[in-house]
Amino acid sequence: MRKRVLNSRSGEAVDVDADLLVDPDAEVVLPKDDVHRLREEIDIVLVILVGGFLGTLCRYELSVHWSQSSTAFPLTTFTINVTGSLLIGIILTTIMEKMRPTRYLRPLTCVGFLGGWTTMSTFAVESDHLISSNHLGIAMAYIFATMFVTPTAAALGISLAHLLPGMQKEVVKALEQ
């Protein structure tokens, strides 16, 4: 499917392949220099900042209240990443398939909050620590479990979003108000 968009440099309308767009409900503008683009999208940046702050704060609070030995299976980070994957499957599917286009909901929830909630960097540091402290069995279990369970959780979230249309209608109605 083709979509007509404005070329931000020349001001001319051009056709682009809409299937290649990352965010099909967002206004599509071909790249400008970064300063102009940031000025036009500062509201989106701020929404992502707020969501990221809240997601990171929640992750921090959970890790403080659910601390564990540095040589044990990192269950806190594993749980955070699995729940984040499950939620992104549910939320993104609901937003993309069941809601009217909105400018802020996806950046706030998926990029911001869940981006701050989940943590690949902590996963990498914990894996490295387990390996360097000769806990190879735990490290390999953690790495393989994370690499298998997180995409499985996202797929489960997508399936749940499709299986629960009645619940989705109520959630969508509440989010659109």
User: pLDDT tier at 113 (50, 70, 90 boundaries)?
Assistant: very high
68 confidence band (pLDDT: 50, 70, 90): confident
Residue scoring higher pLDDT (35 or 94): 94
DSSP class of residue 29 equals: B
Task: Residue 47: name the closest of 32, 26, 20 by CA.
Answer: 26
Grade residue 152 by pLDDT with cuts at 50, 70 and 90.
very high
Regarding predicted confidence, which is higher, 146 or 8? 146
Q: Which of 72, 107, 73, 114 is nearest to 90 (CA)?
A: 114
Return d(Cα 66, Cα 60) in angstroms, integer.
10
- Using one digit for the tens of pLDDT, what is the confidence trace for 32-66? 566 666 677 888 999 999 999 999 999 999 999 99
- Dist. CA 84–CA 6, nearest whole Å: 35
What amino acid is encoded at 175 in this protein?
Answer: L
Q: Is the pLDDT of residue 19 over 60?
A: no
pLDDT at 3: 64
Domain ranges within the chain, ordered by starting residue: 1-40, 42-176
pLDDT band of residue 125 (cuts 50, 70, 90) is very high
CB atoms within 10 A of CB 162: 14
